[in-house]
């Protein structure tokens, strides 16, 4: 029996893999372009949305980087953050650890400090209005020079207090994690937490490289780990979280179809799997939608869904007291009650 969507929305969720630039809905692209006097080659939001047919990661990244060019002022980032928080909250997300791509903005002359200040402003508003909590994770672009990542890390130190950690994203194949060893070592010296995309289009070796060279505490995606049983066993032994994004994997053709997604095999093996949206404005769904499609595709019952939500709490960078509070809210949901806080 499928779990009704309204009940699934009430499951308290923590989102650990969402790119704030990937929450830029076509309507906001058009609005920000109009405000800034930027001419766009499409008439309306639906025409832009119609372009969102992707053959692979790169074909998505091309449009993603093009669209984020409309984000220019601190206020634009505040709007984006607040809009994401509002939508995620409506789907039951109570806490999010949100990626942003500083290099994609500073390369266009937008100061990293303005990006961070805008995101903080939008998320502070969301916290004040509906108690939505967030942490920020600055991702380095792995298809850009390492020297640029080091410069960006230097700039980020001025906003150190607003950032919980660093990540690694953009085109995976041909851009090994090992190149970024020094960047991640310096981030660790600054007390920043470390995560990295790996095993999205790259294979098990890419996942191993992120763990061995970057010292990550979570692997973003990591689905291709399933191709190497020894790696799966290692992920289980270390309880290394994977931030899996099912709709993204389908839309970027990392998997042929949801029915053959490795999620059930990873769960069955005992991997600490979490469910996330990645770039929801592009892939047809936010965190609740991702929960809904996997619940449906793999006939997950309430205990299985609560276990996935619980994994995200475990894998989060939240303090222990907040983790305990969220765990008891998930347990209350499982026991059949409504979430007492919503
Ligand atoms: N799914 C993804 N993989 C790598 N880099 C990204 N940047 C935004 N979304 C991404
Ligand atoms: Zn991602």
- Return the C-alpha torsion angle 67, 73, 75, 79, nearest 10: 10
Ligand showing the shortest atom-to-Cα distance for residue 195: 2
**Cβ contact 48:26 at 8 Å:** yes
In the chain, what are the helix, strand and coil shares in percent, each to the nearest 5? 60, 15, 30
Task: State the closest ligand 1 atom to the C-alpha of 139, by its place in the atom list counted from 1.
Answer: 7
Contact 326, 337 (CB under 8 A): no
Pocket test for ligand 1, best of 55, 59, 62, 200 (most atoms within 8 A of CB): 200
User: Cβ contacts of residue 1 below 8 Å, gap of 6+?
Assistant: none
CB 305 within 8 A of CB 295: yes
Task: Please write down the long-range contacts of 293-300, taking CB distance under 8 Å and 24 or more positions apart.
Answer: 293/246, 293/247, 293/258, 294/246, 294/258, 294/261, 294/263, 295/2, 295/3, 295/8, 296/2, 297/246, 297/258, 297/259, 297/261, 298/263, 298/264, 300/3
Q: Which atom of ligand 1 is nearest to 170's Cα?
A: 5
Average pLDDT over residues 296-317: 98
Complex ipTM:
0.99
Alpha-carbon distance of 281 to 136, in angstroms, equals 19
Nearest-CA residue for atom 1 of ligand 1? 278
pLDDT at residue 36 greater than cutoff 60: yes
Q: Is the CB of 57 under 6 A from ligand 1?
A: yes
Please tell me the distance from the alpha carbon of residue 264 to that of residue 222, in angstroms, as a whole number: 14
> Could you tell me if residue 299 is inside a domain?
yes
Q: pLDDT at position 5, please?
A: 81
Residue 143, domain extent: 5-317
Query: Atom 7 in ligand 1: which residue has the minimum CA distance?
Result: 170
Binding-site members for substrate are 279
Q: How far apart are CA 148 and CA 154, in angstroms?
A: 10
DSSP 51-80: T---SSHHHHHHHHHHHGGG--SHHHHHHH
221 lines ligand 1 (CB under 6 A): no
Ligand 1 pocket test, pick from 68, 224, 279 with the greatest ligand atom count within 8 Å of Cβ, gives: 279
Does residue 325 fall inside a structural domain?
Answer: no
- Identify the sign of the CA torsion 251, 171, 168, 148: negative
Instruction: Say yes or no to pLDDT of 1 above 50.
Output: no
Average pLDDT over residues 158-176: 97
The H helix count followed by the E strand count for the chain is 17, 8
Which residue, among 72, 90, 60, has the nearest Cα to 31 in the 3D structure?
A: 72
- Structural domain contains residue 289: yes
54 domain-assigned: yes
Which residue's CA is the closest to the ligand 1 atom numbered 4? 170
Within a domain: residue 198? yes
Q: Worst-scoring range by mean pLDDT, 4-18, 164-178, 190-204, 238-252?
A: 4-18
pLDDT at site 2: 54
Question: At a CB cut-off of 8 Å and minimum separation 6, what does 266 contact?
Answer: 223, 225, 226, 232, 242, 244, 273
Measured in Å, residue 333 CA sits from the centre of ligand 1 at: 32
Q: Is residue 200 annotated as a catalytic residue, yes or no? A: yes
Q: 41-90 pLDDT, tens per residue?
A: 998 999 999 999 999 999 999 999 999 999 999 999 999 999 999 999 99
84-128: pLDDT as tens digits: 999 999 999 999 999 999 999 999 999 999 999 999 999 999 999
25, pLDDT greater than 90: yes
Q: Which two tokens stand for residue 110?
A: 């937008």
What is the pLDDT at residue 337?
A: 64
Using a 6 Å cutoff on CB, does residue 201 contact ligand 1? Answer: no
Provide mean pLDDT across the span 191-204.
Answer: 98
* CATH number of residue 107's parent domain: 3.20.20.140
As a whole number of angstroms, the distance between CA 159 and CA 7 comes to 39
- Residues 320-336: what's their mean pLDDT? 97
In a domain, 29, yes or no: yes
- Indicate the number of domains in the chain: 1
Q: Which letter does DSSP use for residue 44 in this model?
A: S
Residue found under tokens 């994203």: 169
Q: What is the average pLDDT score of the chain?
A: 97
Residue nearest (by alpha carbon) to ligand 1 atom 10: 170
Q: Maximum Cα–Cα distance for the chain, whole Å?
A: 54
- In terms of pLDDT, which residue wins out, 168 or 4? 168
Q: What is the mean pLDDT of residues 156-165?
A: 97
Residue 288 pLDDT more than 70? Answer: yes
Which of 170, 253, 283 for mutating ligand 1's site (highest number of atoms within 8 Å of CB)?
Answer: 170
Summarize the confidence of residues 288-293 as an average pLDDT. Answer: 98
Reply yes or no on whether the pLDDT at 303 is more than 80: yes
Nearest Cα to Cα of residue 118 among 131, 105, 132: 105
Of these residues, 135, 200, 201, 325, which one is catalytic?
200
CB burial readout 94-118, b (16+ within 10 A) else e: bbbbbbbbbbbbbeeebebbbbbbb
Atom 5 of ligand 1: nearest residue by CA position = 170
Which pLDDT score is estimated for 339?
A: 61
Q: How far is the CA of 332 from the centre of ligand 2 (A)?
A: 30
Ligand nearest to the CA of 64: 1
334 belongs to a structural domain: no
> Is the CB of 170 inside a 6 Å radius of any atom of ligand 1?
yes
Note whether residue 110 is domain-resident: yes
Percent of the chain at pLDDT > 70 equals 97
Q: Which ligand is nearest to the CA of 199?
A: 1
């Amino acid at each position: 029996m499928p779990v009704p969507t309204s009940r699934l929305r009430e499951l308290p969720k923590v989102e650990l893999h969402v790119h704030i630039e990937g929450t830029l809905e076509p309507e906001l692209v058009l609005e920000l372009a109009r405000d800034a006097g930027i001419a766009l080659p499409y008439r309306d939001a639906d025409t832009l949305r119609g372009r969102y047919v992707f053959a692979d990661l790169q074909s998505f990244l091309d449009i993603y980087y093009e669209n984020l060019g409309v984000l220019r002022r601190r206020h634009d980032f505040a709007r984006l953050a607040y809009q994401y928080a509002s939508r995620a909250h409506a789907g039951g997300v109570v806490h999010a650890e949100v990626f942003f791509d500083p290099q994609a903005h500073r390369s266009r002359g937008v100061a990293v400090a303005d990006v961070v200040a805008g995101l903080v402003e939008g998320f502070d508003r969301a916290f004040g209005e509906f108690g939505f909590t967030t942490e920020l994770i600055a991702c380095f672009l792995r298809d850009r020079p390492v020297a640029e990542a080091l410069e960006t890390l230097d700039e980020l130190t001025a906003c150190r207090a607003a950032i919980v950690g660093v990540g690694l994203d953009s085109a995976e194949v041909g851009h090994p994690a090992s190149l970024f060893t020094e960047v991640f070592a310096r981030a660790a010296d600054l007390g920043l937490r470390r995560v990295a995309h790996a095993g999205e289009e790259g294979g098990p070796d890419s996942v191993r490289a992120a763990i061995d060279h970057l010292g990550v505490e979570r692997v973003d995606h990591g689905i291709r780990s399933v191709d190497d049983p020894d790696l799966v066993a290692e992920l289980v032994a270390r309880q290394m979280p994977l931030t899996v994004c099912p709709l993204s994997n389908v839309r970027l053709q990392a998997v042929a179809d949801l029915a053959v997604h490795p999620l059930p095999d990873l769960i069955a093996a005992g991997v600490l799997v979490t469910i996330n949206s990645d770039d929801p404005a592009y892939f047809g769904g936010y965190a609740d939608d991702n929960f809904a499609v996997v619940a449906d595709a793999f006939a997950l019952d309430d205990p299985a869904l609560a276990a996935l939500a619980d994994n995200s709490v475990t894998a989060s960078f939240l303090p222990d007291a907040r983790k305990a509070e969220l765990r008891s809210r998930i347990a209350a949901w499982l026991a059949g009650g409504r979430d007492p806080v919503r």
